[in-house]
Structure 1
Amino acid sequence: MGNSFRQTVAGLFARKDMNSATMLSGHVASTQARVQASESEYLIAAQDTTYYNYSGQTQMSGLGRIQGKVRGLMQHNVLLMEQEGQPLGLIHQQYWTRGGAIDWPSPQKESQKWFKGLVAVNQQAQGSNRRWVVICDREGDIFEFFKAEREPNVDLLVRVCQPRRVEVAAAGTVCPLPDVAEQLDDYGQYSVQIERLYEGKGRTVDVTLQLQAATVYIYPRQDLSPARHKTQPLTLVMATEVACVDGKTQVDCFDADNSLCWSLLTSLPVATAADVQRILRFYALRWRIERLHFTLKSGALNVERLQFDDVHTLVNALTFYSVVAWRLLGLTYALRQDPEQSAQTLFDADELRLLHQLSGQAVDSLRQATLALTKLVGFAPSRRQPLPGVKVLAIAIERFFFVKQGAQAVSKPLQD
C-alpha cells in the first residue's frame, strides 16, 4: 500500500506504549457486540497455540526458541464462535518466547496458557444468559484444569489422553482411562463433518462415529486422596470412527490404522443421544481455530514473512493481522453456512453499490456480493470450487481497497 503507509503502520506497531492487549481491545469490544446480537444458545470458545518460525529474520531482536535451534515465538488464541460455527472474534491472546524478550513468567509453566484463556472466558461470560463452552485439544488434558474455577454458565470440553484413573459413577468401578470404554453406555452412531489433512492438504470428510458416554469422576495423581481431590461429576464421551467418506466425492476413505478416536471430558450434562451428538458437534468446531492459524500463515496472510527490528513490533503486527484473519475466516464460513443471506450483513451500502457497478450484476445476497468481489482477481466459480477460499478473498479484499480509493477520488470535485 505504498512506503509511506507501511512506515506509518510500522511506527504504530513499534510504539513503546502499544501492546497486544491495546491493539486487540477494539476488536474484543466489537466481538462482545456480535455476541449480544447473536441468537446462538451456546457460545464456543476454542483455545489453541500456534508457533511462528522467524529463523530467517536474523536481525530481529528478542526472538526465542520454538524447538531446538528454530527461532520464533508462540501465540495462544481464544476464538469465539456461534454453535453453528460462525466465528464471532477473538477474546484473548497471549505471546511468549523461550529464551527471548518475552519469556513465560517464572515459575509458571506454559500450561498456564489454558487457565489464562479460561479466565478470559469467565470474564466475558459474567452476566451473560448464554452457555459458554471452552474447548481444548489433548494439550489441555490437565487435572487441575478440570477443577479450575468457572462461572456457572461456563463449561469445559477437553479431549483427554492421559491414562488417568477414572471412576464410573453408576457402577462405582475405577480403572485407567484406556480401559473404561466397556463400562460406558451405548448411544448409537452419529455422522459428523470434519476437516482432515490428506497428502498435506485439508479436505472435508463425513465421519461416522460409534458413541459411548457415562458420568465419571477423574482421580488425582496417586499420592493424593481420591475422596478429597477427585473432580466433580463430569461426562466422558468416547467416539470411535467406524466409517469415513470424502465430503465432495463420497469416495470411501476409511483407514482403520489411522481412524479417529476421541475421548472427550466435559461438564456438559448428558441425558439423551442428542446431548452426546451435540458434544461431538461442538468439539468438531475446534478445527476452526486451526483454520485461523492457517489463514495467518500459509493460507493467506504469510505473517512469517514479516520483517521488523524487534519482537515487540512483531507482536503488535501479529495482533493486527489476527483481526484481519478473523475477518477473512468469518466471511469464508458465513458464505458456506448461508450464502443466500443478505449481503448487508458483511458489506456496507457504499461497497455494495460499487460492487454492483463493477460487476453489472445483482449483489443482494452474500454469494452474489462475494462473487462480484472475487471477480476482481479473476475467480470464476466452478463445480469443484463454487465458492472462494481465504487466499482468494484476501487478495480480492486488498484489490477492492484500491478500487474504493480510486472511486472516492473520482467522486470528489476537482480543486482549483
Structure 2
Amino acid sequence: MERSTYSGYFGDKRLEHRGYMLRQRLFSSCTQSIQALSLNRAEQKAYYRFLHNSRTAESKLIAELMKRCSIQSKGRVVLSIQDTTEVNLSRHKGRLQACSGLGGIDDSKGIGFKLHPSLVVDAETCFPLGFSSIRMWGREQDKGNKTERRYMNLPIEEKESYKWIEASKQSQETLHQAKAVVIVQDREGDIFEQFLRIPDENTHLLIRSCFNRQTNDEEGKLWDQLSASEKLGEYQIKVDSDSHGGTPARQASLEVRSIKTNIRPPKEGKGKCVQVYAVEAMEASTENYQGIHWRLLTTWPVEDFDQARLIIEWYSWRWVIEELFRMLKKEGFNIEGSELETGWSIRKLTVMLLDTIMKLMQMHIAYSEPEEANIPDTDLVFSEDEQECLLALNKANEGKTQALKNPFQAGKLNHAVWIISRIGGWKGYRSQRKPGMTTMFKGLNKFYNIYDGWILQKDVGTR
C-alpha cells in the first residue's frame, strides 16, 4: 500500500515532513484538536502554521490522496461510492473569520461547507483503496430560493446537483488504470445527463432510481414495467436495526426482478434514449415497518439472478461512506468542534481526517474478511516499533483458553486489529458480535497511550 509522504507537493521538505507528522498524530491521538494531539507548544504552533500556509493548499492534499488511490486501483474492478454531507460550524460563527472558505448549508441561517467525497473500494472485498474525488464548497448565501432563480430552467452545469457529474468525471480520470469502475450513487445522482455523459467501455453507473421515468416501450413507465416483470429469485439477508427509521433487526427475504430498457430524456421525451438495466430488490412480508425497496439503474450488464444479486450487494456497500461521515462527526473525530479559526484550515483538516478514517476502515474491513482471504500485512497501518508493542500486548490480552487466543496470523492486519479491539473493550469471543469502528477508535486511543510509555521504557533500557 502506497504511504503518504507528501513528497514534492509543497515545494518545501519541512512542510512535507510536518504534513506527514500531522497525519500520523491524527491517527494515533484519535482527535481533531491540534492542541490535544500536539506533544508541546512548538509542535502545536507548527501544525497551526501548516494548516494556514497557502503552499499546503487543499487542492494539493486532495491531489496526493487521489494519486495514491489511482495506484492502488490499478488492474482492479472497483466501486467509487459517492455521497454528500455537510460540516455545520454555526456554533463557531462569531469566532470564524469571514470569507474563509465557508458558506450556506441546509439550515438557511447556518454556516459551514458541503463535502462530497468518492470513496473507492475493491469490488470483490469492499476493502477501501482511497478517494477518487473530493469536492468541498459553501453555498452562496444571497442567491435567493429555487423559485426566484428559476432553478428548473438552469443548465445542469449551474445547478448544485452537477457535483454528481463532476465527481464522476474526476473519478474516471483518477481511476483510468483500473480494470473497470462502477460509480455508486443514491437517488440524488439519478440525473439523466449523467447517463449520457459518463458511461464508457471502462466506466459504469449504479444509481438508485428517484424518478418513474418514461421508456420508449409501450408497456408503461420504468417502475411499472419493473414491478410487473417476472421474479428472478429470492434470497435472505441479515439487516441491522435502524433507530432513525424505526425498523427492527431481522432476517429479510428479498424478491429480485430485473429488466433491460431504454429510458427517455425528461423534457417531453425528445432526444436520445439511454439503455439501462433496472434491478428491483423488494423485501417480502413486512408488516409494522417500511421494508427494503430499492430500484437500481445500472449500465453494468444484468442477464440473470446472480448478476442482479451482485448489483444489489454493490449498492448495499454504501454503508462504508455513511460510516465515513459518522466517524468524521460526533461519533468519531467531531470535525464540527474544531477550534481552528478559518474555514480553509478546517477544510484542509477535513481532507487529512478522511485519510485517517480510511485507515480505520481498512482495519475494520480486514477484520471482517474470511481467514482465507488475502489480508493486508500489519505494516499497512503500523510501524515496526508499533508492531513490536502490539505483539507484547497480544500476550497480555489473550486468555488462558483457546477461545480467547488471537486466532489470526501474526504480521497480518486482522491480528493487530484483534489486539486493538481487545484494548478497546471487546471481549474477544468468536461467538460475540465483531468489533465495530467505535470499539477500534477507543482501542487505538488507548494503544497509543500505552505505546508512548512503552517507547519511553525502551529508550531508557537502551541507554
TM class by shorter-chain length? Answer: 0.7 to 0.9
Taking the aligned partners of 1:15 and 1:100, their CA distance within structure 2 comes to 27
Residue 242 in structure 1 maps to residue 280 in structure 2 = no
Counterpart AA for 1:219: R
The residue correspondences of 1:10-409 to structure 2 (distance < 5 A) are 10-36=48-74, 42-58=77-93, 59-61=95-97, 62=99, 63-66=102-105, 67-83=107-123, 84-99=125-140, 108-128=158-178, 130-167=179-216, 172-193=217-238, 197-198=242-243, 205-225=250-270, 228-231=271-274, 233-242=275-284, 254-255=286-287, 257-338=289-370, 341=375, 344=378, 346=380, 347-360=382-395, 364=410, 366-381=413-428, 385-409=432-456
Taking the aligned partners of 2:119 and 2:446, their CA distance within structure 1 comes to 27
Instruction: State percent identity of aligned pairs.
Output: 22
Taking the aligned partners of 1:9 and 1:378, their CA distance within structure 2 comes to 32
Distance 1:407 1:43, change over 3 A: same
**Kept in 1: contact 2:277–2:298 (CA 8 A):** yes
Root-mean-square deviation over aligned CA pairs? 3.0
**CA offsets 1:287-313 (integer angstroms, 9 cap, x no match):** 211111111112321111112111111
Taking the aligned partners of 2:277 and 2:288, their CA distance within structure 1 comes to 26
Q: How does the TM-score come out when normalised to structure 1?
A: 0.84
Taking the aligned partners of 1:160 and 1:382, their CA distance within structure 2 comes to 41
Taking the aligned partners of 2:429 and 2:247, their CA distance within structure 1 comes to 19
Distance 1:52 1:32, change over 3 A: same
Q: CA deviation at 1:149?
A: 3.3
Counterpart AA for 1:344: T
SS at match of 2:104: strand
Counterpart AA for 1:71: I
Moved more, 335-344 or 141-150: 335-344
**CA offsets 1:319-341 (integer angstroms, 9 cap, x no match):** 11111111111211211123684
SS at match of 2:206: strand
Counterpart AA for 2:131: L
Counterpart AA for 2:119: L
Taking the aligned partners of 1:348 and 1:396, their CA distance within structure 2 comes to 17
SS at match of 1:180: helix
Distance 1:278 1:371, change over 3 A: closer
**Kept in 2: contact 1:165–1:174 (CA 8 A):** no
Of Structure 1 and Structure 2, the greater strand share is in 1
Taking the aligned partners of 2:392 and 2:279, their CA distance within structure 1 comes to 53
Distance 1:31 1:201, change over 3 A: farther
Taking the aligned partners of 1:164 and 1:200, their CA distance within structure 2 comes to 27
**CA offsets 1:342-368 (integer angstroms, 9 cap, x no match):** 753644443222112234256715444
Distance 1:306 1:338, change over 3 A: farther
Taking the aligned partners of 1:138 and 1:98, their CA distance within structure 2 comes to 21
Taking the aligned partners of 1:8 and 1:151, their CA distance within structure 2 comes to 46
Distance 1:238 1:299, change over 3 A: same
**Unaligned 5+ residue runs, structure 1?**
244-253
Taking the aligned partners of 1:195 and 1:98, their CA distance within structure 2 comes to 35
**Kept in 1: contact 2:70–2:177 (CA 8 A):** no
**CA offsets 1:264-308 (integer angstroms, 9 cap, x no match):** 110011222111111111111112111111111123211111121
Q: How does the TM-score come out when normalised to structure 2?
A: 0.76
Q: CA deviation at 1:87?
A: 1.5
Taking the aligned partners of 2:435 and 2:103, their CA distance within structure 1 comes to 36
Taking the aligned partners of 2:252 and 2:349, their CA distance within structure 1 comes to 38
Counterpart AA for 1:85: C
